[in-house]
Amino acid sequence: MKVIKFGGSSLADAIQIRKVCDIIISDPDRRIVVVSAPGKGVNDPVKVTDMLIAAAQAALIEGDEAGLSAMETVIDRYASIARDLGVTEVMEEIAADFRARIRLDRSHPTRFTDAVKAGGEDNSARLTAAYLRTLGCRARYVDPGKAGMILSDDYGNAQILPCAYELLRESLSGFDGVAVFPGFFGRTEAGETVTFPRGGSDITGAILAAAVKADVYENFTDVDYVYSANPHQVKDPKPIPLVTYREMRELSYAGFNVYQEEALLPVFRAGIPVNIRNANNPSCPGTLIVSERSAHESDVRVAGVACDKGFTSIYVNKYLMNREVGFGRKLLQIFEDEGISYEHTPTGIDDMTIIARSEYLSGGTLPRVVSRITAELGADDVQIHEGLSLIVVVGEGMKHAVGVAARATAALSRAGVNISMISQGSSEVSMIFAVDTGDALTGVTALYDALIG
Ligand code: ASP
């Protein structure tokens, strides 16, 4: 049995939904289908989820009238898709659902916004199920709340609760047609609608695949493969046919957004392979994400090179730091107190550097952190380096290879890129270089050419 998920671009209009439904019915193992809300399409520049967020904002700020009028634009978009698919009868239910959502209680703004946002996926599932039925497929819409998608009450950032898996397994087994399950949301234990972070339909699919112990989780998007570099950064990068969960996690962390990074955990724990495929080119086998590669396949030392900008480094120096037990804890405590999540902490004998995303240090936080480090830890020197990018070279095979770091640093040196920091954990699944953002593209290209191209 396969769990299969379609992203917003695959459901943007009737032409796309027809392709999606052909894919579903071409394989009888495709029994649980997760759908996103319609995304950007040829004639639709805005994702439905963004339209819904704007409608919720309008209702919150300007009141009922403004919310309802913004909602009518969303309803029109569904009506036009339903018309083109010849399933106009489903529109009565869809329009009523959207109008009811925008009239919900607004006393808790994030809860209200989640309930409105969730309508995009919910009604996308009603529409897709209705169209599948016209093709003779026994498809039914599944209500995630009733099916047991029980989530934490972190609105806009929910997590699955452990009890959900068994509930979902029970409610999804025993149906021999196609279950069309809306992505992106579930309900809290108190029964409120709550959503995952953006891109969260990938998480829904991963949870369902783990719950029903699917043979594979097929994640259909709009690219043929995950590529070994971002095509906007490197020309014609090589496709990656096979990648491990850990490699994929590292690549997503550093800017590969083909697959929502939180969506790896449920399938990783259950050991279910994920197949990233293209709904516009279903004959392409796509990228398979698996637990491990065999020895032969491990010949691929470096799977990909990724890069993300927007980092700041805070260098702290104190003479005889190496003898001061607890210095690292006290330094990191300051970051914890300030609510800053840090990314890396390379160290020297008498120095420690903290690299964090610059967005966490804005609005007066950075000067406060610096003065606390000086005052509370007695640091001799604190230096700030803003505008950094991290280039990440990813590959489980690097562990068994000699000289990857030498080739990487030689390539950066030939390209004239100054390295501000190098970090490699002993797992050797990735090697990270911090460089000035102005040098980042040159660095990515140099590393790609030297290690992959
Ligand atoms: N529609 C939601 C979003 O745009 C969730 C998803 O598509 O996965 O983030």
What band does 117 get if pLDDT is binned at 50, 70 and 90? very high
Query: Which atom, in ligand 1's list, is nearest to the CA of 198?
Result: 9
Mean residue pLDDT of the chain comes to 94
Q: What's the alpha-carbon Rg for the chain, to the nearest Å?
A: 24
pLDDT of residue 390: 94
What band does 297 get if pLDDT is binned at 50, 70 and 90? low
Alpha-carbon torsion (332, 335, 340, 344), positive or negative: negative
For a ligand 1 pocket test, name from 198, 259, 261 the mutation site with the most ligand atoms within 8 angstroms of its C-beta.
Answer: 198
Ligand 1 centroid from CA 213, angstroms: 24
For a ligand 1 pocket test, name from 34, 49, 149 the mutation site with the most ligand atoms within 8 angstroms of its C-beta.
Answer: 49
pLDDT of residue 399: 81
Alpha-helical runs (H) found in 104-222: 109-117, 119-134, 144-147, 164-172, 201-211
CB atoms under 10 Å from CB of 43, counted, come to 9
Residue 19 has pLDDT above 90, yes or no: yes
- Name the residue at shortest CA distance from atom 6 of ligand 1: 199
Listed residue (229, 237, 419) closest to 306, CA to CA? 229
Report pLDDT digits (tens) over 310-346. Answer: 999 999 999 999 999 999 999 999 999 999 999 999 9
Q: Measure the CA–CA gap between 285 and 97, rounded to whole angstroms.
A: 38
**Overall average pLDDT of the 150-175 stretch:** 95
Residue 425 has pLDDT above 80, yes or no: no
The residue assigned the tokens 């730091």 is 321
- Name the residue at shortest CA distance from atom 8 of ligand 1: 199
Query: In angstroms, what CA-CA distances link 204 with 260, 298, 402?
Result: 11, 31, 40
Ligand 1 pocket check for 183: Cβ under 6 Å: yes
Report pLDDT digits (tens) over 334-385. Answer: 999 999 999 999 999 999 999 999 999 999 999 999 999 999 999 999 999 9
Report pLDDT digits (tens) over 396-411. Answer: 888 888 889 999 999 9
Name beta bridge partners: 309: 389
Residues contacting residue 76 through CB under 8 Å, at least 6 positions apart: none
Query: In angstroms, what CA-CA distances link 263 with 65, 86, 200?
Result: 37, 34, 8
**Overall average pLDDT of the 266-278 stretch:** 95
In the chain, list all ranges with CATH 3.30.2130.10: 304-451
What band does 254 get if pLDDT is binned at 50, 70 and 90? confident
pLDDT of residue 453: 87
Query: In angstroms, what CA-CA distances link 33 with 113, 130, 451?
Result: 25, 13, 38
Ligand 1 pocket check for 195: Cβ under 6 Å: no
Ligand 1 pocket check for 184: Cβ under 6 Å: yes
pLDDT of residue 452: 93
| DSSP 8-state assignment for residue 453 | -
What band does 299 get if pLDDT is binned at 50, 70 and 90? low
What band does 76 get if pLDDT is binned at 50, 70 and 90? very high
Query: Which atom, in ligand 1's list, is nearest to the CA of 200?
Result: 8
Q: Look at 256 and 197; give whichever has higher pLDDT.
A: 197
As given in the structure block, the two tokens for residue 259 are 């697959």
In the chain, list all ranges with CATH 3.40.1160.10: 2-222
Q: Measure the CA–CA gap between 307 and 441, rounded to whole angstroms.
A: 8
Query: Which atom, in ligand 1's list, is nearest to the CA of 121?
Result: 1
CB 356 within 8 A of CB 314: yes
Ligand 1 pocket check for 124: Cβ under 6 Å: no
Percent of the chain with pLDDT over 90: 86
Q: Measure the CA–CA gap between 159 and 213, rounded to whole angstroms.
A: 19
Q: Measure the CA–CA gap between 277 and 287, rounded to whole angstroms.
A: 7
Q: Look at 423 and 312; give whichever has higher pLDDT.
A: 312
Answer CATH for 304-451 from 3.20.20.140, 3.30.70.20, 3.30.2130.10, 3.40.50.10420: 3.30.2130.10
Ligand 1 centroid from CA 412, angstroms: 37
Report pLDDT digits (tens) over 179-188. Answer: 999 999 999 9
Q: Taking each helix axis from N to C terminus, what angle separates 404-414 and 440-451, rounded to the nearest 10 degrees? A: 130
What band does 174 get if pLDDT is binned at 50, 70 and 90? confident
Ligand 1 pocket check for 47: Cβ under 6 Å: yes
Residue 296 has pLDDT above 70, yes or no: no
Ligand 1 centroid from CA 185, angstroms: 10
The residue assigned the tokens 């809860």 is 111
Q: Look at 253 and 48; give whichever has higher pLDDT.
A: 48
Residue 423 has pLDDT above 90, yes or no: no
For a ligand 1 pocket test, name from 40, 52, 121, 203 the mutation site with the most ligand atoms within 8 angstroms of its C-beta.
Answer: 121
326: alpha, beta or left? (left if phi > 0; alpha if psi -120 to 50): left
Q: Measure the CA–CA gap between 112 and 249, rounded to whole angstroms.
A: 32
Query: Which atom, in ligand 1's list, is nearest to the CA of 7?
Result: 7
CB 184 within 8 A of CB 200: yes
Query: Which atom, in ligand 1's list, is nearest to the CA of 201?
Result: 8
CB 56 within 8 A of CB 114: no
pLDDT of residue 151: 98
Query: Which atom, in ligand 1's list, is nearest to the CA of 202?
Result: 8
**Overall average pLDDT of the 416-427 stretch:** 88
Instruction: Give CATH for domain 2-222.
Output: 3.40.1160.10
pLDDT of residue 159: 97
pLDDT of residue 253: 77
In the chain, how many H helices and how many E strands? 15, 18
Ligand 1 pocket check for 198: Cβ under 6 Å: yes
